[in-house]
Structure 1
């Protein structure tokens, strides 16, 4: 308990703490005392300096009870009596003794440097940057921008491309007796409208479609729960991609309250367990932007490729295709449509695909564009007919003869 200021605590007969006030008075007559101001409350134990070596605490002399320190004034007087000549003579004798010892055994400076030098360590192979030819380097110019991660952008997309092997799908409609490809296309068309209404990222839409396909490939589901699966997949993708994802009630609202909150949360648990909580699925949209950067494609050309890629989400025949391969085929079709050339060597280097590998998918995409549109699937075409997207949906499709000549 702290004592009131200005009053001396009373010591009882049974108190074991001695009064050191009188003993401390002896030392005040013998030398100057250093008064330390404590920031602790009065009566609380004083804090001990933790880092004595990096403070001036070692310069402070604390007098203890029962000890006597030497007079500091006498020390200063002795130091002032030593003349400069005495110091010079002492330094001269010391240098002579050191020089005589060094003549007996002298070590070259070069040897000390060699012994103390640490050889540079080489980075292990998995940490070394891949050697990129100068003509194929598209990241060095962005080294000053930390948001583009130019130092390891190539490794990121190589990693995503390697992860695609884990998420390869097949035509799973054979295990879905209550569903068909048309129902899936209607669901994807509805997800496009949800993405527009909530103003979500395009990556969110692609990931939601991927999550839906992977869940439908695990077990048969009822036709009535298909919209619940799609909206829950969009919720999961929003949590993964968006900074401010919509809440559960928002998705219940777009479903016209056809499902309860408990049903949506239970479906979220089922989907995550079916996917092993691994929802980092590589989507074509990421590869498309990367490959368009290789040829410095304009925004309208990239938007045309995005339109073809987003339209392909409704095609069940393109579900088994890898995202990187599908993105490459969409970009090649857009380049041919815009008469900007074919598949250049820099695209072969970064994508890893040649024209012969892309040709079958490009033909499927061309057939998709030339086929008459379904009146029930107009969300993507209506979306890319807007001026914001350069009205790329209204651009005429390249004829098959021109396309085949480019594929050769």
Structure 2
């Protein structure tokens, strides 16, 4: 007899001899297929007895739960004669069939999709600004009244047309003007007239007016005149001169400027002749050497002319009349000592262009391109512009008319005869 112990409280079970023979032959059926007195449920092998008992308790609890969930069903006949099974539901308990679950799942998916679409619309609404009716009407009202904000002007590349011009040195033009700005800051012209005991502002104005006439007589380049006046002011700020030497300083400075700027410079005898032989050749050459020594041979300086050429080019589109008007205002300002010592050359040039645009009624008057290339806003050049307008108003009644006559000619578009921009003087 073969005995197997299935439980501690269960009696041994006798196995028939024929089963024993099948075991020896290897044809014995698995234990779970034996339909005898034992209701066997396979379970994993757990060595820990405490864990085994806990697993048994869990299985028993699951069985009880399944039994409690099983409820009596009632069969009724439908209208078509078929039997329909209804589940009797307890009170306060909602039982959902498989069809209802599918329907709810579909509804849940629809709700989720709707939420996604709503979030997507909100994100799109953030990306794309939606204008309300009030904002649209307000914008239309501003546009009708001329209060709508204008688009900001774009900065024009004024050197693009000269890309193939080797003489324009487009690759270095920005560095060149940065150097000019640096030199005018490092070498400012201070108020030197209180240190001069023999000359005054009026004498300097007479000298500059005469040099403008000489410059026109010799048909010299514009940059020669600006460099001449720069050399005079720099020398007078370092050396006290007598009244008799003032004209000598003037012609010697122009001689130096001609040698620096002109291709064919006038000779010394030409300047002696223009002075009615008031000085000798030796005196002119001696003064020329004295000026170079005092200025340490530094002739490469920033004058209003170098900035005028650049700033006029930035008045897109620029024309000859605009150029003549700006040069007239700048040369008229060179005669007045107060402008020379109060403002640096770049501000004088920018203010001259600004007043010229107002005089010629150019619109817009001060663009983003001009602000970029000049480095100044309208507020920064306003004071200098007002002084230039006052000098322009007084030029017709002044006794020193060399600049006025020069720019009243037809080849200069008679810009000196145009009415000044009086509204700038009132601002």
| TM-score computed with the length of structure 2 as normaliser | 0.62
Q: Secondary structure at the match of 1:195?
A: helix
What's 1:333 paired with?
Answer: 355
What do the CA deviations read for 1:8-31 (whole angstroms, capped 9, x no partner)? xxxxxxxxxxxxxxxxxxxxxxxx
Q: Structure 2 stretches of 5 or more lacking a match?
A: 1-152
Residues 1:392 and 1:349: Cα distance change in structure 2 (over 3 Å) = same
For residues 192 and 368 of structure 1, the distance between their equivalents in structure 2, rounded to whole angstroms, comes to 17
Shift of residue 401, structure 1, vs aligned partner: 5.8
Alignment partner, residue 227 of structure 1: 247
State the Cα distance separating 1:197 from its structure 2 match.
Answer: 1.0
Output the CA distance in 1 between the equivalents of 2:424 and 2:310.
28
1:323 aligns with 2:359: no
Determine the structure 2 residue equivalent to 1:264: 284
Deviates more, 1:282-291 or 1:395-404: 395-404
Q: Paired residue for 1:240?
A: 260
Q: Which has the larger radius of gyration?
A: 2
Structure 2 Cα separation of the partners of residues 374 and 219 of structure 1: 33
Aligned residue number for residue 162 of structure 1: 182
Deviation at 1:136, TM superposition (A): 3.4
Give 5+ residue unaligned stretches, structure 1.
Answer: 1-132
RMSD: 1.7
Give distance in 2, aligned partners of 1:190 and 1:370: 21
| Contact 2:155 2:368 (8 Å CA) reproduced | no
CA contact (8 A) 2:189 2:234 kept: yes
Distance 1:163 1:149 in 2: 20
Which residue pairs with 2:371 in the alignment? 348
> Secondary structure, in 3 states, of the residue corresponding to 2:365?
coil
Equivalent residues of 1:190, 1:379 under 8 A apart: yes
**3-state secondary structure, aligned to 1:272:** helix
2:392 matched residue in structure 1 = 369
1:60 corresponds to? none
Tell me, yes or no, if the aligned pair for 1:336 and 1:403 is still in contact at 8 Å: no
SS in 2 for 1:343: coil
d(CA) in 1 for partners of 2:283, 2:381: 42
Cα displacement string for residues 201-227 of structure 1 (whole angstroms, at most 9, x for unaligned residues):
010001000000000111211000110
Q: Distance in 2 between matches of 1:386 and 1:146?
A: 34
Matching of residue 384 in structure 1 with residue 407 in structure 2: yes
Query: Which residue is 2:147 aligned to?
Result: none
1:102-155 Cα offsets, whole Å, 9 max, x none, are xxxxxxxxxxxxxxxxxxxxxxxxxxxxxxx98332112211111111222122
- Number of residue pairs aligned between Structure 1 and Structure 2: 272
CA contact (8 A) 1:175 1:220 kept: yes
Q: How big is the shift at 1:375?
A: 4.6
The Cα offsets for residues 237-296 of structure 1, whole Å up to 9 and x where unpaired, read as 001100111111111111111111111111011100110110112111121121111122
Instruction: State the match for 1:287 in structure 2.
Output: 307
Instruction: Note closer, same or farther for the CA distance 1:402–1:234 as it changes in structure 2 (3 Å cut).
Output: closer
Instruction: Give the corresponding residue for 1:210.
Output: 230
Separation in structure 2 between the aligned mates of residue 367 and residue 172 of structure 1, nearest angstrom: 23
Contact (CA 8 Å) 2:154, 2:368: kept in 1 or not?
Answer: no
Distance in 2 between residues matched to 1:141 and 1:298, nearest whole Å:
15
1:148 corresponds in structure 2 to 168
